[in-house]
Amino acid sequence: MSLENARRDAAVTVTRVVTTRLPTRHGTFDMVGYAGLAGAEHVALVWGSHNGFTGEPPLVRVHSECLTGDAFGSYRCDCGEQLDAALGTISRATSGALVYMRGHEGRGIGLLNKLRAYALQDNGRDTVDANTDLGLPIDSRDYRQGADILRDLGIETVRLLTSNPAKQIALEALGITVVGRQRLHVPDRAENTAYLNAKRSRMEHDPVPDPQAWEQLSVGVIPDGELDPLQMELVDRYGPLVQAGERLVIAQLGQSIDGFIASRTGDACFVTGEEDREHLHRLRALVDAVIVGAGTVTADDCQLTVRSVSGAHPVRVVLDPHARIPTDAKLLSDPVAPTLWFVGPDAVVPERVADHVDIHRLESMEAFAPSRVLERLGRQGLKRVLVEGGGVTVSTFLRGGVLDRLFLTTAPMLVGDGIPGIRFDGTDALSGAITAPVRRFLLGNDICSEFTFA
């Protein structure tokens, strides 16, 4: 479905007026203009709509207009920086949209009333009491037009970018399915920290994520000093991987509780949830290279980059004995990180590949054995490795006895039949089953079991 023929029948409060393009420092967006209620004019900046938002749900920001923050770069609030961060984040995703809601100025009370509220805050009131003192609601934003714009664009299911849980609730009440919420935190400033803290303590906005711990972990440092519970959890979970040192081989797989990574038609959207995805991105950030099998690239057209959290992208390695991944796969076309394409002796590969792609022709099929693949990567300095899919590849590395750790996330879902996750030749006696010390983490509704083999 393209922007042109996206579903339009549900749009009741808005009318699509025009579609054009908007080049920005984050890339060129499609821009769609809407006439809304009471003469309001809204716009949506849309990214990657050509696939009709069919894959992973688009990353969506419903941004409330703020003249002072968005246009003048005011430090009284975080709106301007959030707007910029949202466009940047969306432009790094496969698809997404930013809906710019006019009429939301001042959380719905209008620009001049917001300035009146500012004047009261200059005299010591906080952002909530200032509205109340003026006899105005604390937050009177109506998201109907935003929801209708999303539907008009063909977007019914989203990953939402906001630090305000009430926005998710409002959109869900209007029929938008929110499969995950990604907070949109920009650092506090001296000028806005009191305002942001008031929103956190009185309006249930997310607390400050303390990125410090993660930022240190992602560059190989174990944070010390006073840590809040969120940071402690990160250090507890990922610290051992940092401490493992130069050499580390881990695997990660998300499967249904009955052991499938996709339905029998290959539908894999989604087995595990947003939290597991974030965990996977953290693992990627902690290794030098990520290995996937050809089947995963063909089925998911994965990017294998670090997007949910900050961190460096790993080198991407595809095990593809018969060179069957599509030549337009993102790994071969998107130069954001190097790709090593491991093919077999008889594989037919294109004459020319992009500069970021290195074809490694292995001398025999035996050279695809896990230990030999790892040896070859090690010789190139890629010693910290994550094996991340699919079921066959992870199972082969598990069976090959080369894994230091396995993160196996199970989702509370019964698929019945489908594409298997971990499978290998078992043994007659249960005593032959693979066991190891295990830690468990709750990732949303999913459970991640971490097996430590070495």
Annotated binding-site residues for GTP read: 61-65, 82, 105-107, 127, 162, 167
Write down the H helix ranges in 153-192.
Answer: 165-173
Residue 97 binds ligand GTP, judged by CB under 6 A = no
Q: Which does 163 bind (CB under 5 to 8 A by kind): ligand GTP, Zn ion, none?
A: ligand GTP
- The nearest distance, CB 333 to ligand GTP, in angstroms, is 33
Contact string (CB under 6 A) for ligand GTP, positions 154-193, x = contact = --------xxx--x----------------x---------
Q: What tokens were used for 344?
A: 């077999």
Q: At what angle do helices 229-243 and 211-218 cross, to 10 degrees?
A: 10
Angle at the Cα of 67 (from 61 to 68), degrees rounded to 5? 110
**Contact window for Zn ion (CB under 5 A) among 64-72, 87-95, 174-182, 346-354:** 64-72
SS3 3: coil
Q: Which of residues 382-421 bind ligand GTP (CB under 6 A)?
A: none
Q: Before 239, cis peptide (omega within 30)?
A: no
Q: What tokens were used for 166?
A: 């009430």
Residue 104 binds ligand GTP, judged by CB under 6 A = yes
Q: Which of residues 66-95 bind Zn ion (CB under 5 A)?
A: 66, 69, 77, 79
391: enclosing H helix or E strand: helix 391-399
- The nearest distance, CB 137 to ligand GTP, in angstroms, is 9
Q: Which does 254 bind (CB under 5 to 8 A by kind): ligand GTP, Zn ion, none?
A: none
- The nearest distance, CB 118 to ligand GTP, in angstroms, is 6
Q: Which of residues 198-237 bind ligand GTP (CB under 6 A)?
A: 199
Q: At what angle do helices 144-152 and 165-173 cross, to 10 degrees?
A: 70
Catalytic site includes residue 139 = yes
- The nearest distance, CB 204 to ligand GTP, in angstroms, is 10
Find out whether 64 and 162 touch, Cβ atoms under 8 Å. Answer: no
Percent helix / strand / coil, the chain, rounded to 5: 35, 25, 45
Q: How far is CA 212 from the centre of its chain?
A: 19
Q: What tokens were used for 167?
A: 């926005």
Question: How many residues in total does the chain contain?
Answer: 454
Residue 82 binds ligand GTP, judged by CB under 6 A = yes
- The nearest distance, CB 193 to ligand GTP, in angstroms, is 13
Q: At what angle do helices 274-285 and 211-218 cross, to 10 degrees?
A: 40
Contact pick of 77, 287, 386, 411 for ligand GTP (by CB under 6 A): 77
- The nearest distance, CB 79 to Zn ion, in angstroms, is 3
Contact pick of 89, 95, 131, 272 for ligand GTP (by CB under 6 A): 131
List CB contacts of 193: < 8 A, sequence separation 6 or more.
none
The residue count for binding ligand GTP (CB under 6 A) is 23
Catalytic site includes residue 276 = no
Q: What tokens were used for 243?
A: 């401490």
- The nearest distance, CB 100 to Zn ion, in angstroms, is 13
Contact string (CB under 5 A) for Zn ion, positions 24-63, x = contact = ----------------------------------------
Closest to Zn ion by CB, 10 or 115: 115
Spell 87-98 as b/e; 16+ CB within 10 A means b. bebbbbbbbbbb
**Contact window for ligand GTP (CB under 6 A) among 14-22, 61-69, 376-384, 440-448:** 61-69
Cβ count near 328 (within 10 Å)? 8
Q: Which of residues 313-332 bind ligand GTP (CB under 6 A)?
A: none
Q: What tokens were used for 197?
A: 């803290």
Find out whether 64 and 105 touch, Cβ atoms under 8 Å. Answer: yes
Residue 252 binds ligand GTP, judged by CB under 6 A = no
d(CA 68, CA 56): 34
Indicate which residue of 70, 126, 139, 288 is catalytic: 139
180: enclosing H helix or E strand: strand 177-182
Q: So which residues are the catalytic ones?
A: 139, 141
Binding residues vs Zn ion (CB under 5 A): 66, 69, 77, 79
Query: By the criterion CB under 6 A, which residues form the site for ligand GTP?
Result: 64-66, 77, 79, 82, 104-107, 109, 114, 117, 121, 127, 131, 162-164, 167, 184, 195, 199
